[in-house]
Amino acid sequence: EAGVVQSPRYKIIEKKQPVAFWCNPISGHNTLYWYLQNLGQGPELLIRYENEEAVDDSQLPKDRFSAERLKGVDSTLKIQPAELGDSAVYLCASSLGPNNEQFFGPGTRLTVL
């Protein structure tokens, strides 16, 4: 069974530029999560989707971050404009439901110069 797929794996951009990350969850998983992981820290939830509905986006900085999960499958996380402090690993995870085991993708490492 294929795991959670994320792309790109690495991204280097100049500050103020836009950037987008893509996630393909495990087939059949209705719940999708985006996490932010700073160096030396644990993952922090940015947004959780149940199918195509964002049910918890309280930690998403909505002035510059946006996310979508069209058709309840793949998801895209966007930052516009990026700031130096956005340099981190962005992890996507999926689960059958909100109380089931979460499976994480390998993450996208973003470097903002």
Partner 1 sequence: QQQVKQSPQSLIVQKGGISIINCAYENTAFDYFPWYQQFPGKGPALLIAIRPDVSEKKEGRFTISFNKSAKQFSLHIMDSQPGDSATYFCAARGADKLIFGTGTRLQVFP
Q: Which residues bind partner 1 (CB under 8 A)?
A: 4, 40-45, 48, 56, 91, 93, 98-99, 101-107
Shortest gap between Cβ of 63 and partner 1 (angstroms)?
A: 22
> Checking DSSP bridges between strand 108-112 and strand 10-13, what pairing results, if any?
parallel
Indicate the residue among 14 and 53 with the shorter CB distance to partner 1: 53
Indicate the residue among 45 and 73 with the shorter CB distance to partner 1: 45
Q: Using CA atoms, how far apart are residues 65 and 3, in angstroms rounded to an integer?
A: 25
**Residues 4/101, Cβ–Cβ less than 8 Å:** no
Indicate the residue among 52 and 81 with the shorter CB distance to partner 1: 52
CA distances, 72 to each of 18, 44, 82 (Å): 24, 22, 26
Shortest gap between Cβ of 9 and partner 1 (angstroms)?
A: 8
